[in-house]
Structure 1
Amino acid sequence: MSRSDVEPGNDRRIPPREARATLLRRNHGFFLYLRGGRRMARRSHLTEIGCIACDELAELGAGDREGWLDDPSLLAALHSYSLAVASAARPLVLVLGWDPDRRSPSSPRHPVKIHPSLSPSDGRITALEWLPFGDLLALALGTSSGLLLVYSVGGDLIHKQFVHPGRVLRLRFRETESKGGFAQDSVSEELCVVLPGVVARFDGTDIQSLLRRWLQEAGSRMWENSRHKLESEDEISYGNIPFQLWNVGKFGNCSDAAITGVKPPPLLELQSSQRYYGAVTVGDNSVISAYRLSEDRSRSLVGTILSKVVPVTFSTIASFSKLIWRSEQSATRKSHPTSQPFAKASPLTCLKDPPRKGEKLTLSPSGTLAAITDSLGRILLLDTQALVVVRLWKGYRDASCLFVEMLVNRDKASSSSRCYEYTKSDYCLCLAIHAPRKEIIEIWKMRTGPRLLTIQCPKGSKILQPSTRFVSSSQTPYIPLEVFILNGDSGQLSVLNRCVV
């Protein structure tokens, strides 16, 4: 009998047929395979791509306790080779990066610290998101007083704008691809700002033009003086970025919301040049609410009241106060920025199921599906076009969901041709569910498919996804949607492998 037929660490001889079989046993906490007398490591579903561990993370609470990344006051946003981590308790944002070309990705690049100059009236940092536009990259911050701040990667303040009174709950940047004429595809970007009962939409072209103007001014010496003036006097150097604002609080304030895309106009309505958008909200009073958003402000009754009645009322009160108090200091004091009038938001449907409350919402790449988590540990899969719940999961308390594209049973194609390039049709849309109480990540096939994977993840882990995946053209291979796992205790950042056998 050969040497390979003897199990290491045991004098018991193994029959040849048993040695050729695949055996699974546990040795010192690791799973090992025995095939043909040789032990092989279990196939891992994660690939390590970098490490963000550094001394600067201690300022955000790293190392104080196990699972420090689970703190709800900590915000994280991922981009290609860059990770931004912010704390709502202190005005600090860390931009961490790593070099993908290094053989050992254990050492990150030097982190960049951003200290937003926030006054007590500006509030605290409550939302964080990257703004990628090809070669242009910026970081957007939202505050508890309704401010939108835009910073460069180097930490320079680019823009500061008031959106609406209230706490900014979510900043959601999306890159959508639509079919045009003559088989031409068009790509558009948008930034959605979510506040309690309010949704705002910024067009990506307006934000991109602002960033390009800032780059032109950054080369001149006068930019340093204007930047310090902007931070000290709390003014806006390029004016306000135009945006649309809608009131989606008919069924109560929302905890999260998203604009699902362009929606057809309602029936029996005259066709116009105005576009309509679909929006889905989740909140305490209603688990799911859907709206049709119009760009036309003249059709909104609330917008008419705010644009006509409110200014007259404030001017009347101001004139009476001047007559009574005769105060000159009140005239020189800076006035609080006023809110923009609302456009029309028509409610489409609402799902109320007390005491269940909607918590978080995640959109699919096309915006046709939405995964919604609630306070009862359930996950609802919503068809945003038909406004119907098509699937339901139970038993996932405090879960987080992200859509991912996987290769299912594609080993034959890769083995037949080494240079095989996968197309969009080769990938299958799946849903990654992170259950922190179970310390697992599950991958489910959409819409009615089975569970494909169950991955163990340590305590204090967080699943992340870039705000854009750089929609590929016909000359470049298709880039699928990926999910990244960040281990807060070790600082390791890994990506979920695309192939599922």
Structure 2
Amino acid sequence: MAPRTHLTDLGCIACEELSEFGAGNEGWLDTPNLSAAVDSSSLALANRSLVLVLDWLNGDLINTPIKIKPSLSPIKGDITAVQWLDFDDFRALALGTSNGYLLVYSLEGDLIHIQAPSLISFFLHLQFYVCYNLGFWTNVMNSLTPFSSSDEFCVVMPGVVARFDGSDFQTLLQQWFQETQSQFWDQRRQNRETDDMRHSYKRLPYQLWNVSKYGLCADAAITGVMPPPLMELQSSERYFCAVTIGEDAVISAYRLSEDRNRSLVGAILSKVVPAAFSTLSSLSKMIWRSGQDSSKKSEEKPQSFAKASSLTCLKDHPRKGEKLTLSPGGTLAAITDSLGRVLLLDTQALVVVRIWKGYRDANCLFMEMLVNKDTASSSTPVAEHSKSDYCLCLAIHAPRKGIIEVWQMRIGPRLVAIKCAKGSKILQPTSKLGSSSVSPSFVPLEVFLLNGDSGQLSVLNQSFH
């Protein structure tokens, strides 16, 4: 039993509906086909065919658990991932399936959006990874300076990374919630659910990269933007950095270009023969269109990959990368491997800066804690502290040891070791997307602990003094 000073109870989620997810069986939270996502007041659990949403307030369930049972066919596959889309004015759930379908549901169980894999015909086991407020760079007087930030939604597949813009999800949900107020919505919703997938509500744009040069990846993340490569032509194109882990390469990194056609040869050709190429293209289109039946609709083609250039690779057989967790801002990544080690990676220098050993089957999450004893022991409410009062820490859950250790980054000491019951799981609330221009009060990064036996949900205190 963990001391009171280390954990604060939020509520108990125990209910009959959890029996459909294996609750009551030993280690049910570690079932391979079970996904979980939590925000500030709700927990979403998903198995292969069912999603359960549980709310809590003042230690008690406040609503009847919400069941969402998507209509899944063998073509769509099973649910493999769940993630909250948490905006200021509305919330929704994003689901990924084993055959690559992206589904978005309201908390009332209404289907908001479905995106078929006609553009990504090779989706496998989806994992959603949300990267928030990634700083962008621009070329100004031949220097690189950050100029903006945005919310990112990263989808990870074996050997493939896709990036969605958070603002596209926000626009989608805004339009949907406005249409729900229309008197014709019920009829429109029925029509959309029965229509062919090609006529889905709206196709969300995305970018796609092949990152399988060193084998299929078990997990990955887009860590942020980076400067263009040397000798690259000056342009407004952005370059992202992606870190992947897997069986063949414990760690590998790639530079991702936005432009699917950008290469040195392509740049030369575009400068040397632009007029001739344009003329030939126009003529070929005219000839092609003249022989086309105007009533025949062209088929959608799979989206092509953008350019991904390898930066580095670490191979250390038989070690295999298993899980990857990104820090706020993407400057650090915690990576667990098959040899029971936790690697702390500097994603900008692409160098491992710290290693912990003896943590088999570990789970890692970053959190923010008050810096010193004076600040931590003061009676000042947490809401009144600023970001400078907190330091970044890493919570390592070692299930075989039955403890959670909190270490200060990057080279700080272990701050505390918290005992936890067998079958527990650590979770992290989803941050809000699409915040308003008015800067809100700082909300430190938290880590929740779910006890699989009792159903008790607690939060790790951000001050242990």
* Residue 300 to residue 111, structure 1, CA distance change in 2 (3 Å): farther
- Verify: 1:441 aligned to 2:399, yes or no: no
Per-residue displacement from partner, 1:402-429 (whole Å, max 9, x unpaired)? 0011114334575376799221111111
1:98 equivalent among 49, 56, 62: 56
Secondary structure, in 3 states, of the residue corresponding to 1:360?
A: strand
- 1:472: Cα distance to partner? 9.6
What code does the residue aligned with 1:93 have? Answer: V
CA contact (8 A) 1:45 1:497 kept: yes
- What is the TM-score of this pair, normalised by structure 2? 0.85
- 1:338: Cα distance to partner? 4.6
Per-residue displacement from partner, 1:275-295 (whole Å, max 9, x unpaired)? 111100001110001000011
Could you tell me which residue of structure 2 aligns to residue 58 of structure 1?
Answer: 19
Could you tell me which residue of structure 2 aligns to residue 45 of structure 1?
Answer: 6
* Residue 481 to residue 380, structure 1, CA distance change in 2 (3 Å): same
What aligned pairs does 1:186-197 form with structure 2 within 5 A after superposition? 187-197=149-159
Q: Which moved more, 1:244-253 or 1:229-238?
A: 229-238
* Residue 400 to residue 243, structure 1, CA distance change in 2 (3 Å): same
- Verify: 1:137 aligned to 2:91, yes or no: yes
What code does the residue aligned with 1:57 have? Answer: L
What code does the residue aligned with 2:247 have? Answer: D
Distance 1:233 1:454 in 2: 54
Could you tell me which residue of structure 1 aligns to residue 359 of structure 2?
Answer: 396
2:387 equivalent among 411, 414, 424: 424
Could you tell me which residue of structure 2 aligns to residue 458 of structure 1?
Answer: 421
CA contact (8 A) 2:137 2:225 kept: no
What code does the residue aligned with 1:119 have? Answer: S
CA contact (8 A) 1:52 1:108 kept: no
- 1:178: Cα distance to partner? 4.1
Distance 1:342 1:300 in 2: 13
Question: Larger Cα Rg: Structure 1 or Structure 2?
Answer: 1
The number of residue pairs the alignment matches comes to 424
Could you tell me which residue of structure 2 aligns to residue 124 of structure 1?
Answer: 78
What code does the residue aligned with 1:170 have? Answer: Q
1:223 equivalent among 169, 185, 197: 185
- Give unmatched runs, 5+ long, in structure 2: 139-144, 267-295
- Verify: 1:297 aligned to 2:260, yes or no: yes
Per-residue displacement from partner, 1:21-47 (whole Å, max 9, x unpaired)? xxxxxxxxx89xxxxxxxxxx652000
CA contact (8 A) 2:93 2:105 kept: yes
Percent of residue pairs bearing the same amino acid type = 64
Distance 2:459 2:72 in 1: 35
Secondary structure, in 3 states, of the residue corresponding to 2:92?
A: strand
What code does the residue aligned with 1:196 have? Answer: P
What aligned pairs does 1:168-179 form with structure 2 within 5 A after superposition? 168-176=125-133, 178=135
* Residue 417 to residue 338, structure 1, CA distance change in 2 (3 Å): closer
CA contact (8 A) 2:163 2:208 kept: yes
CA contact (8 A) 1:432 1:444 kept: yes
Per-residue displacement from partner, 1:36-86 (whole Å, max 9, x unpaired)? xxxxxx6520000111111111111112x1232121211100011011000
Per-residue displacement from partner, 1:445-476 (whole Å, max 9, x unpaired)? 11111111100000111100012167798764
CA contact (8 A) 2:134 2:330 kept: no
Secondary structure, in 3 states, of the residue corresponding to 2:328?
A: coil
Distance 1:472 1:441 in 2: 35
What aligned pairs does 1:64-83 form with structure 2 within 5 A after superposition? 65-83=25-43
* Residue 210 to residue 417, structure 1, CA distance change in 2 (3 Å): closer
Distance 2:298 2:449 in 1: 45
CA contact (8 A) 1:280 1:288 kept: yes
What aligned pairs does 1:317-336 form with structure 2 within 5 A after superposition? none
Distance 1:204 1:367 in 2: 16
- 1:500: Cα distance to partner? 2.8
Relative contact order: is structure 1 or structure 2 higher (C-alpha 8 Å, sep ≥ 6)?
Answer: 2
CA contact (8 A) 2:53 2:66 kept: yes
What aligned pairs does 1:3-14 form with structure 2 within 5 A after superposition? none
Could you tell me which residue of structure 1 aligns to residue 454 of structure 2?
Answer: 490
Per-residue displacement from partner, 1:187-229 (whole Å, max 9, x unpaired)? 5211111111000001111111111111121112322222222
CA contact (8 A) 1:169 1:255 kept: no
Per-residue displacement from partner, 1:170-196 (whole Å, max 9, x unpaired)? 101222164999x99955211111111
Could you tell me which residue of structure 2 aligns to residue 317 of structure 1?
Answer: none
Q: Which moved more, 1:213-222 or 1:483-492?
A: 213-222
* Residue 474 to residue 114, structure 1, CA distance change in 2 (3 Å): closer
1:86 equivalent among 39, 46, 55: 46
